[in-house]
Structure 1
């Protein structure tokens, strides 16, 4: 059964479930054991009573003899007295002669059924069977006794039966004794199990108290030693969730701080420009102010889009959305999208790539990565320059290169340019309105995809070369 199937019903109390699963089977096993013990005790009682019944039958058999050519039996009361004083039931007997005639006793005592076999438990020709006599169930022992003298010989049949009152009394006594002992055992085990479950669950209840008493701002790790080894994976999962929440909250705070810091200046400029436009009476001056407002608005929109892209990358790295993608097709698509600004600056935008090279990633993120690199290359390359896009396979993985003939970035600043809002000195001269977020966005996308990024000199030793190496896509 799957976990989803378990979710259809409320799980309820863990303590109650443990008690049910431990005590329920235990009670069933104890009940089975009680039945088995009861049957064994009854079998033992039957053996004891049958042995006593056989002893009385043999006592009668010793009184059977042949006298004057006839089978006779001398049955004084004392012969059955010892048997009668040991039981609460009543005794019936019958002695049959060589031809089945009744010699002594109760003539209507039930005969021996033909299906009853001789008992193998005793060295005698005896059969035991149950029957009804005068409306009461009885147990009868039938013994074949050889009799003979000088004139004749044959087999006499001695039958002794007893009512089942004594056996039933003993059965009730055995049953009550067995049930009482088993009930006391069950109660003792239930108490011990209840105490054990309570003690075992105490660390979980302590963990609940620790979590309940935490502040809403406390996302520190929970001590795994508070619980048993089997529960520690759950605590580790909780710690992992809280760590991700900490990262999420930190990124949100960083985004809010960055956005408030970076947007405050252009918004203040826009407000100032709007106030100047309202006070201006010269149409030419007003037009110049409106054009300045348009440029400031474009810069602000560009900055906001970069901030939103950075936030989306930080929160949208879902591995389930990753798929095998053609990197040359993706680079070609971005090159076509940005062909117009390259043409306006007379930049030679070239692409060198094989037909199909696969990388594994998220399409929107990879598009953002390539677009940032190509846009930066076109933006900072002077008019009449060259931007070369290259995709090729290397031993370490699939490599994307973006080379330009712009001002480049000094080697000392290669690590710094990935910091949010940091701008290299050479790029500020070429494009003063930049945001300083392009390579930060590229760095985060590279990290999400398990790739690597390096900076180097550009074409002819000038400009900049950005190399991104993606891992190979392994066949499933």
Structure 2
């Protein structure tokens, strides 16, 4: 299944700036609203206190004369009120029986649902109203009045237009927005420089990687970046190490392959030159037969090289599918039966009936593994010898054994024979035309399938026993 293409992430710097500055702007905006609300509340309290002061000053001029409530309010006092409040002033003095004593008789009355203010030790109520088409703020103060003949409470109302309050509100709003905007600008500038400074090591890492030579696969110093980015650098170093190993393997493979192919090609060229100079038909046929043999050896070597290259440069562990190893061994036995018969070798297959020898892996690669082991055993076993393919179930998995009665391999060379093109001394004597690639191919296929490969003596201590232990199936199929 194809992997979904990743969406481009964009600029890390821009994302950091967005996630830092945008929430900051929102928070500063909320703070500005809160500050503006608090400032308006403080301004209203200040203006209400001033309005109450004017009302009290007016109440001091209210008295009782000859049994009537009178208000001595000269025009100078009204002018003083207007000068103090920076707005138009309206007032009304109401007597004990609700009659208008002085002022503007049509000034709006006190609404019934207006509570008494708890901020001042006075019977005062503040409320908004409309008067002469303008919004006004009115303070209504209940003032006790009395003389020797009567006693009661008069109502003094003083209202002012909201021009001064509105001007102050606009001034507070503009000042708040200006200061908050300057704060956002200052913080955004600091954040921009901070992000640029913090991301500088990443830019240095980018420059370090970009300016490297193509052949430079050395590690990058993790100390170039911050602690949080070091795992990425370490992973990159690991990838470079694997790439270095892959390049080294390819170079070694190319060098070894060219060296191994040079010999048969040189022999072919020599045989072809001899054939060109030969006039005897019988000798010519012998040379052509030798050319055919050398060609077969070169083809066999090329096929082994291609197989090894495909396995070494494959994509790791193959996709798992159930493969009956006993069936694979039986198929290989049938394919190599003719070669064994021509050499007089007794080729046998030993599989216990009823045992589940299924492993998970790639059927073609497992066939290649068994075929290489069996072919090697037939090649290096002398005429009249025996080769046995044995497959069986064990507690920890499936065991494949290939036993022969050939010259065997000394224990000190067991690890070396898995190296490409390495050939033990005994095998050189038994088959000088070998390639030294069979066990290297077997090693790689076994590793890809998680199998353990080991060498040991054959039956009765003679020959060689190559055993491959495959792990148990991780997901066995349910029986149908």
TM-score by length of 1: 0.90
- Deviates most, 299-308 or 20-29: 20-29
* CA drift at 1:196: 1.4
Q: Distance in 2 between matches of 1:361 and 1:61?
A: 104
Question: How is 1:325-474 mapped onto 2 (pairs within 5 angstroms)?
Answer: 325-344=323-342, 345-353=344-352, 355-394=355-394, 398-474=398-474
Deviations 1:32-59 (A, max 9, x none): 1112111101101101111221222223
Secondary structure in structure 2 of the residue aligned to 1:138: strand
| Residue number in structure 2 paired with 1:306 | 304
Equivalent residues of 1:409, 1:464 under 8 A apart: yes
- Stretches of structure 1 that go unaligned for 5 or more consecutive residues are none
Deviation at 1:210, TM superposition (A): 1.6
Q: 1:251–1:311: 8 Å Cα contact kept in structure 2?
A: no
1:171 equivalent in structure 2: 169
Q: Is the 8 A contact 1:454 1:468 kept in 2?
A: yes
Q: 1:227, CA displacement in angstroms?
A: 0.4
Give the direction of change, closer, same or farther, for the CA distance of 1:416–1:241 in structure 2 (3 Å limit). closer
User: 1:307-326 residue pairs with structure 2 within 5 A?
Assistant: 307-319=305-317, 321-323=319-321, 325-326=323-324
Contact 1:342 1:349 in 2 (8 A): no
Shift of 1:220: 0.4
1:338–1:375: 8 Å Cα contact kept in structure 2?
yes
Of 330-339 and 300-309, the range deviating more from structure 2: 330-339
- Post-superposition CA distance 1:273-313 (Å, at most 9, x none): 33333444444333333222222111111100111111111
Deviation at residue 27 of structure 1 after TM alignment: 1.9
Range 358-367 or range 101-110, more displaced: 358-367
Distance change (3 Å), C-alpha of 1:328 and 1:83: farther
Q: Give the Cα separation in 1 of the matches to 2:465 and 2:160.
A: 113
1: distance between equivalents of 2:121 and 2:328?
Answer: 101
The answer to which of 67-76 and 30-39 deviates more is: 67-76
After TM superposition, the runs of 4+ consecutive aligned structure 1 residues lying more than 6 A away are none
Q: For the residues of structure 2 that align with 1:55 and 1:168, how far apart are their CA atoms? A: 20
Does the residue aligned with 2:45 lie in a helix, a strand or coil? helix
| Alignment partner, residue 275 of structure 1 | 273
Aligned to 2:290: 292
Contact 1:138 1:162 in 2 (8 A): yes
Map residues 14-413 of structure 1 onto 2, 5 A cutoff: 14-77=12-75, 79-80=77-78, 82-148=80-146, 153-319=151-317, 321-323=319-321, 325-344=323-342, 345-353=344-352, 355-394=355-394, 398-413=398-413
**Deviation for aligned residue 1:251:** 1.8
How far did residue 272 of structure 1 move? 2.8
Provide the secondary structure at the position in 2 that maps to 1:469.
strand
Give the match's secondary structure for 2:120: coil
**How far apart, CA to CA, are the structure 2 residues paired with 1:342 and 1:81?**
131
For 1:324 and 1:85, locate their aligned partners in 2 and report how far apart those are by CA, in whole Å.
Answer: 101
Matched position secondary structure for 1:373: helix
Offset of 1:200 from its aligned partner? Answer: 0.9
Find the residue that maps to 2:108 and give its secondary structure.
coil
Distance 1:130 1:29, change over 3 A: same
CA contact (8 A) 1:322 1:360 kept: yes
Mapped contact 1:449–1:470 kept (Cα < 8 A): yes
Structure 2 spans left out of the alignment, 5+ residues: none
CA RMSD of aligned residues (A): 2.7
- Helix, strand or coil for the counterpart of 1:220? coil
> What is the distance in 1 between the residues matched to 2:443 and 2:379?
19
* CA gap 1:389/1:43 in 2 versus in 1, 3 angstroms: same
Give the distance between the partners of 1:322 and 1:267, measured in 2 at CA.
40
SS for the counterpart of 2:209 is helix
Report the CA distance between 1:422 and its aligned residue: 2.3
Shift of 1:316: 0.7
Deviations for 1:242-278, whole angstroms, at most 9, x for unmatched residues? 1222122112212211221111111122233333334
Aligned residues: 472
| TM-score normalized by the length of structure 2 | 0.89
